[in-house]
Structures are given as C-alpha cells and as structure tokens.
Amino acid sequence: MVKFYRQNDLFKNNDVSFSENNPTQDIFINKKTIKEWQEKIINHQSPIFKNGYKDVNQSSLFESNSEELNETFNPIDLTPLPLSFWRWPKAMHKGPAIYFVMDKVVDSNENIILYIGETISAEKRWRGEHDCKKYLSSYSDSLQKANISTNLNIRFWLDVPIKTKERRKLEQKLIQAWLTPFNKETREMWATPFTSQIN
C-alpha cells in the first residue's frame, strides 16, 4: 500500500499539483515553491558554511596528551564527487567515513547539505538500496520539471572515528547542526516534499 502525505506547512493551495485519486503519479512543485524551500535551508546553513562547524571534538584520533583540539570543520573543503562515484572501477575513498550529499543552488551560488550519513565502508556505500537515493531522484526530477539547475555531489570525510558508536554520535551532532532536510531526524521541520512522495 502506498502512503502519501501532503506537506501543508510549506505548500499551500496550488503550490503542489497532484491527483487525489492517483497519489503515485508525478507531482509538480512550482519553481517559486522550490526556491523558497531552498532559501530557508540556505538561511540556516550559510552561517555555518561561513564560520565552519566548531563542535568538532576528535581528540581520540590524534596522538597527543595536550588539551582537546578546538578545530573547525567545513564540508565545503572536502572533494566533491558525482553521486555515481560507486560505479567507478577504482574506489576513491576507503574505510570509515561521514559523507555529505550537497547541492549548489545556481542562482544564489550557495551550497546546501541535503543529507549527512556515516559508513564503515566509504567505497561500498550506495551500491544498494538507500532512501536518500530515492529522495535525490525525486528532488532532481522536481527541479528539472521546474527548470531549475542542480549540481548534486557527495563528499567524504575520512578523518572520523573508526568505532561505529563514536562515528554515529558525530553524525548526529552534524545533522543537528546543519538540519539536513533528507535525514529522518530533521526532515519534518522543512516540510520536505521530495521525501513525502516516497513511502
């Protein structure tokens, strides 16, 4: 059974076109609505991009008895890869990682982080099923229909804890700071239409 939820918080009246009788049909989200949605995310994330994320406490990774490091981290400094990176014959990154799925909003030249995840094996991530892949497909389709350019990429941060529990703790801190719209922990606050179509 297919579930379908309207996102009434953000989308009003005719912002989203759909059929009550066929909830699985393509949904058209107009350009103005998508731009407003992106702008809200930019308004939250832009100051973090400008100043860097300051709650990086990775002292366990460094051979040092000195005080805990108070570094900043900015995912914009990581190498962008296409979302199809996993099809390449040679893996670009291996081992534990936290990854960031990003888009560059062409009109504003601003980056937004859509999803943050963690993995024990960067080279194998995304080979199989992944909810975020579905959301990104819906996102790309919606932007294409509204004639909006997209520049999706993925970036891997390899300087992360090897232990899964510690890595997940760091992932959650990053999600709560950036409030990424495709992560389940925060998607409701953005009334994300690209996730509500897929259930």
Measured CA to CA, the distance from residue 199 to residue 197 in angstroms comes to 7
**Residue 98 within any structural domain of the chain:** yes
Alpha helix (H) ranges present in the chain? Answer: 31-51, 131-145, 164-178, 187-190, 193-196
Measured CA to CA, the distance from residue 78 to residue 103 in angstroms comes to 14
- Residue-level pLDDT at 29: 84
Number of Cα atoms under 13 Å in the Cβ half of residue 63: 0
Measured CA to CA, the distance from residue 63 to residue 53 in angstroms comes to 22
- Residue-level pLDDT at 46: 93
**Residue 5 within any structural domain of the chain:** no
Number of domains, the chain: 1
**Residue 14 within any structural domain of the chain:** no
pTM of the model: 0.76
Bridge partners, 100 (sequence order): 116, 155
- Residue-level pLDDT at 6: 37
Structural domain range at position 36: 26-62+70-196
Please give the structure tokens belonging to residue 184.
Answer: 């389940």
CA dist 194 → 35, 78, 122, 198 (Å): 14, 26, 25, 8
**Residue 145 within any structural domain of the chain:** yes
pLDDT in tens, the chain (199 residues): 444 333 334 334 444 443 344 444 456 788 999 999 999 999 999 999 988 777 644 434 433 333 343 467 899 999 998 887 766 566 666 789 999 999 999 888 899 999 999 999 876 666 666 677 888 888 999 999 999 988 999 999 999 999 999 999 999 999 999 999 999 998 788 876 666 555 4
**Residue 99 within any structural domain of the chain:** yes
**Residue 109 within any structural domain of the chain:** yes
Q: Phi-psi bin for 138: left (phi > 0), alpha (psi -120 to 50), beta?
A: alpha
**Residue 140 within any structural domain of the chain:** yes
**Residue 21 within any structural domain of the chain:** no
